[in-house]
């Protein structure tokens, strides 16, 4: 059982002991710290926070604790109930709220939950803001409202529909072409809120959705991370239904992956590549993804005359660089599409609409679309280290050993070779080094990863 406190929020497993797991006391304490921080940002008469959750089993309990803690601080709450992460992000500025909280542990299994925190723009907090909330939580310096000044909870369950409306308003969403294409699509909603939002979006676009695990019970039918090894049922359903393709999202609907008409993965890394290809063909410009994402986005961006740059890993870092570079589309290689025309957050609904527009206009099968992009293969591995080992020292040695190559050191060490790359970075929460590689073949990517694992072990004497 685990509780992880970090600048990006608090997450942990339900049950067990206080400060060792995500217990009711921990949820209340962290919500109170966030509410206290929010009130410190500006002095005003009324404060408002949007709160929503994915469908995991513990969600309703945690949401009630969080909302009533905010009420106790004198903060008014807009309860959007079952929702998605991008929907809450959209709702915050639409409600003119001071912030938002999403209760979700993303792709983690059902025993996990988390509080993800937003600012008044509906964007994730930066490192300094997150650190301040951690300090408030540890200090217990929180002052609650008197009885006449308690906040109120207002329920508004319309925001998934409102979010869909905002997506449909986007100029590059070609709703007419999508409707005329008469697509049939299987949707794996992993029994969470994607099972609500994605079929509704498809229906509005004139697409026939075949629902698979779209009942938002929180009982995930498989590992909820949208990877090939977890999606056998989706592959079988796509083939059986003779569907045009399949869609799968994670429980909070900020990660998106596609499956082609043969039941083969389009590749989660290529979700952003395809959406960027479409957007850049209409609106040329720059792109950003994180350092551990595929090189194919760079290739597509340069094909359209734009500039690509990689950020440190983490959505906040991606967004920061996107704003700096005036990017038209960006995101993360884990299927996270960030389209600033709507908002600065990973959004599977926007990704679905852009992908459908691309497919409808090109009038080709999903397998043919995938074949039109450069082929890169990734390997993702890790090395478990002895606690107390000097991880920074190990990475510094690797940097020195490869100083003759093209290096990026804003987040660990990334080494760019002519036809491949390797990214080495330490975990912020456990004693491991993560190794990401990409090469022209899977064998080459795996071999490169194994080579660097051996080098790290030699340096660390393990």
Catalytic residues: 106
Question: How far, rounded to the nearest angstrom, does the alpha carbon of residue 317 sit from its chain's CA centroid?
Answer: 13
Q: Are strands 48-53 and 99-103 parallel, antiparallel or unpaired?
A: parallel
Question: How far, rounded to the nearest angstrom, does the alpha carbon of residue 66 sit from its chain's CA centroid?
Answer: 22
DSSP E strands: which ranges in 170-251?
A: 184-188, 208-212, 245-249
User: Residue for token digits 């056998």?
Assistant: 232
- Helix intervals (H) in 17-58: 24-41
In degrees, rounded to 5, the angle at the alpha carbon of residue 281 between the alpha carbons of residues 280 and 285 is: 30
Beta bridge partners of 377: 439
Please state, in angstroms and rounded to a whole number, the distance separating the CA atoms of residues 449 and 375.
18
Neighbour tally for 183: CB within 10 Å? 19
DSSP E strands: which ranges in 91-182?
A: 99-103, 112-118, 153-155
Asked if 137 contacts 29 with a C-beta cutoff of 8 angstroms, the reply is yes
Please state, in angstroms and rounded to a whole number, the distance separating the CA atoms of residues 102 and 79.
11
Number of H helices, E strands in the chain: 15, 20
* Cβ density class 209-231: b for 16+ within 10 Å, e for less: bbebbbebebebebebbbbeebb
Of 356, 361, 354, the C-alpha closest to 170 is 354
Structure tokens at 37: 């921080």
Tell me if residue 396 falls in helix, strand or coil.
helix
Please state, in angstroms and rounded to a whole number, the distance separating the CA atoms of residues 215 and 366.
27
Please state, in angstroms and rounded to a whole number, the distance separating the CA atoms of residues 201 and 218.
21
Asked if 200 contacts 164 with a C-beta cutoff of 8 angstroms, the reply is yes
Please state, in angstroms and rounded to a whole number, the distance separating the CA atoms of residues 71 and 32.
10
């Amino acid at each position: 059982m685990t509780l992880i406190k970090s600048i990006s929020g608090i997450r942990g497993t339900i049950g067990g002991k206080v400060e060792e797991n995500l217990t009711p006391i921990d949820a209340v304490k962290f919500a109170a710290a966030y509410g206290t921080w929010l009130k410190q940002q500006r002095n005003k008469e009324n404060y408002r926070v949007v709160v929503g959750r994915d469908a995991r089993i513990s969600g309703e309990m945690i949401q009630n604790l969080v909302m009533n803690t905010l009420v106790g601080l004198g903060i008014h709450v807009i309860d959007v109930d079952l929702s998605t992460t991008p929907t809450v992000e959209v709702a915050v500025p639409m409600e003119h709220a001071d912030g938002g909280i999403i209760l979700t542990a993303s792709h983690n299994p059902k025993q996990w939950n988390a509080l993800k925190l937003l600012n008044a723009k509906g964007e994730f907090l930066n490192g300094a803001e997150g650190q301040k909330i951690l300090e408030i939580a540890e200090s217990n310096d929180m002052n609650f409202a008197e009885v006449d000044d308690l906040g109120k909870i207002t329920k508004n369950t319309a925001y998934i529909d409102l979010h869909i409306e905002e997506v449909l308003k986007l100029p590059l969403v070609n709703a007419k072409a999508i409707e005329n294409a008469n697509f049939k699509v299987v949707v794996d909603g992993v029994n969470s809120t994607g099972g609500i939002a994605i079929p509704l979006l498809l229906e509005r676009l004139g697409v026939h959705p075949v629902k698979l695990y779209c009942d938002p019970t929180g009982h995930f039918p498989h590992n909820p991370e949208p990877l090939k090894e977890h999606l056998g049922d989706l592959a079988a359903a796509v083939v059986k239904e003779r569907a045009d393709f399949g869609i799968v999202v994670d429980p909070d609907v900020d990660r998106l992956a596609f499956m082609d008409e043969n039941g083969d993965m389009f590749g989660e890394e290529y979700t952003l590549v395809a959406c960027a290809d479409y957007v850049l063909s209409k609106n040329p410009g720059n792109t950003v993804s994180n350092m551990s994402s595929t090189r194919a986005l760079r290739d597509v961006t340069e094909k359209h005359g734009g500039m690509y740059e990689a950020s440190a890993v983490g959505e906040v870092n991606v967004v920061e660089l996107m704003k700096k570079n005036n990017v038209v589309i960006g995101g993360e290689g884990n299927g996270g599409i960030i389209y600033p025309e709507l908002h600065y957050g990973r959004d599977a609904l926007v990704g679905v609409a852009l992908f459908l527009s691309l497919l409808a206009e090109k009038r080709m099968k999903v397998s043919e679309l995938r074949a039109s992009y450069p082929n890169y293969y990734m390997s993702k591995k890790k090395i478990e280290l002895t606690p107390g080992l000097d991880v920074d020292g190990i990475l510094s040695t690797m940097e020195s050993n490869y100083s003759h190559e093209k290096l990026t050191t804003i987040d660990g060490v990334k080494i760019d070779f002519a036809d491949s790359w390797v990214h080495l970075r330490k975990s912020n929460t456990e004693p491991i080094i993560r190794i990401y590689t990409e090469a022209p073949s899977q064998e080459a990517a795996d071999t490169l990863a194994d080579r660097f694992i051996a080098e790290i072990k030699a340096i660390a004497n393990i």
